Amino acid sequence: MHDIDELREVSDCAPGTPPLDDATRHRVRARLVAAMGRPAPVVRPRRPVLRIALTGALAAAVAAGVLVVLRDDDGAHRERTANPPTSSAPAMRNVSAQMVLNGAAAYERKHERTVTPRDDQFIYTKEIIKETNQKTGGTKSYVDENWRSVDGSKPSWIMEIGKGWWSPPLKKNESVWPPQDWGRLRKLPTDPKRLILAVGRDAGMPRKTDSLDDITDEQWSEIHFSLAGLLKLVPVMPQGLRPAAYEALGMVPGVKAVPNQRDAKGRTGVAITYDDPTAPEGVASFGGYFIFDPGTYAFLGFRDERSSGDGPAMKKYTQLSYLDSWAVVGKAKQRP
């Protein structure tokens, strides 16, 4: 129902709103379909987005041939010298999105670990989701476990809000964005400007464009969509790629910092979100909120919204989520 709900928001635009042109309709439809993780119709170069959450800080341990990664939230707090008074807390300060994302990139470069999964392996992720009904305040928690084929050649098990299904392998000449196979990820630039141009060209931007000054609002919208999908949905990256993606995201016009945002564990952080100047009124941009520790800029988790039902029965939810752990395993449904 998620795509239907968002399409409803498009139809509810104020009377007199100019009709969308073909390119915009295709872009919105592709985004809505992509957000559900289903292949979009081939109407434009956009690749569908896979629904896998990620963590910002990667810490690895190798044992018995199985790689397991766990979040170390206590460790992140130990790096802070002291909790300052509320009036001067970093979350209260007016910081720029670029400052936050550059800080997140620096944190990643300091803490990232090099990992190289094989094509015949699977990426296991365990995501914790806390969902609150915006009207009643009722809260439910879910544990989503996913097993994604590294090269996409085997069926993957995907879960969303407690429900799971088998995702078939990619067909011949079929690809998705963001890439899941290590070979494609390794080819992405680790320089933020070159990464922006690479994802822009992959999304249909003219290949002759080689200056950020030449990028249009529509192209920046596509670039943000691609970068947010890369950061949000790929739990394992080659060394240097995630820091570059953070820095690249900070260079997108319309990206902004929002202070005093709570994560799933009740911690107060600074969030990064995007005001898309090309989106129809009432349609939120893809990506939601990326929440970071206001002192270390370690990644804390996501905040998103979803709706279900129709008419008076429609329910709206706020989702707070984070990646509890991930692992590289040998087969689907194998737990580390």
Angle, CA of 204, 205 and 209, to the nearest 5°: 155
* Listed residue (314, 322, 315, 332) closest to 293, CA to CA: 322
Q: Which residues in the chain come in under a pLDDT of 50?
A: 1-48, 50-92
Count of residues making up the chain: 336
| Per-residue pLDDT, 286 | 77
| Per-residue pLDDT, 94 | 67
Largest CA distance in the chain: 64
3-state secondary structure labels for all residues of the chain: CHHHHHHHHHHCCCCCCCCCCHHHHHHHHHHHHHHCCCCCCCCCCCCCCCCCCCCCCCCEEEECCEEEEECCHHHHHHCCCCCCCHHHCHHHCCCCHHHHHHHHHHHHHHHCCCCCCCCCCEEEEEEEEEEEECCCCCEEEEEEEEEEECCCCCCEEEEECCEEEEECCCCCCCCCCCCCCHHHHHHCCCCHHHHHHHHHHHCCCCCCCCCHHHCCHHHHHHHHHHHHHHHHHCCCCCCCHHHHHHHHHCCCCCEEEEEEEECCCCCEEEEEEECCCCCCCCCCCCCCEEEECCCCCCEEEEEEEEEECCHHHCEEEEEEEEEEEEEEECCCCCCC
Residues contacting 289, CB < 8 A, separation 6+: 258, 261, 271, 272, 273, 302, 303, 304
Contact indicator for 3, 32 with CB cutoff of 8 Å: yes
pLDDT, tens digit (0-9, with 9 covering 90-100), for 243-296: 999 999 999 999 999 999 999 999 999 999 999 988 887 666 677 899 999 999
| Per-residue pLDDT, 106 | 98
Contact indicator for 111, 295 with CB cutoff of 8 Å: no
| Per-residue pLDDT, 273 | 95
At residue 81, φ and ψ (nearest 5 deg) are -70, -40
For the chain, the domains span: 2-82+91-329
